[in-house]
Amino acid sequence: MLNRKHSPAGQFGSAAVESIFAMVFIIVLLLGVVQVAFVLYARNVVAASAHEGARAIVERGSRSDDAASVALATVRGSAGGLVDDLRVGVDLQGENAGAVTVVVSGRVKSFGPVPFPIPLTSTATSTREVGLP
C-alpha cells in the first residue's frame, strides 16, 4: 500500500500536470519546426518558378504571358495548395527582350503555431545573348 504520510499536502497529481504542460510545449515546438520547413520549401519553389519563367522567355523566345504561365504552373505543380495569392510580374527590358525580370510573390498558408500567412517574393533576372544562333 502507498504511504501518503511523507508526501507534502497538495502535491498529489502534480507530476501528471507537469507532464501535460511539457507535452503541449513539445508539440507546439514540433509544429513550429514543421512550419519553418514548409516555409523554406515554399520559398525555394517560388524562387525556382521565377527562374523558370525568366528562362522560358530567354531560351524559348516565349512571350511574357507564357513566362507567367510557366511560373504559375511550376508553383502549383510543386507546392500544390501551400502557396496562396500567387502573382507573377514580367518585365522585358531592352530590344527583343535582352533582359528579363520575373517577380513571383505569394503567401504561405498558416497551419502551425504561427497564426498568420507568411509572404514570399522572389525575383529572377536573365539576359539573352545577342548575336548567338
Q: What pLDDT score was predicted for residue 51?
A: 92
Question: How many angstroms separate the CA atoms of 111 and 37, rounded?
Answer: 12
Report if residue 5 sits inside a domain.
no
What's the gap between Cα 12 and its chain centre? 46
Question: How many angstroms separate the CA atoms of 91 and 55, rounded?
Answer: 13
Q: What pLDDT score was predicted for residue 46?
A: 93
Is the per-residue pLDDT at 11 higher than 90? no
Q: 24-49, pLDDT tens digit by residue?
A: 999 999 998 998 899 999 999 999 99
Q: 106-123, pLDDT tens digit by residue?
A: 999 888 777 888 999 999
**Residue 68 lies in domain:** 16-127
Report if residue 37 sits inside a domain.
yes
Which residue's C-alpha cell is 496562396? 84
Q: 43-87, pLDDT tens digit by residue?
A: 999 999 999 988 888 887 767 888 888 888 998 888 888 888 889
Report if residue 6 sits inside a domain.
no
Q: Does residue 80 come out as left (phi exceeding 0), alpha (psi in the -120 to 50 range) or beta?
A: left
Say how many domains are in the chain: 1
Helix (H, G, I), strand (E, B) or coil at 8: coil
Q: Is the pTM of this model over 0.75?
A: yes
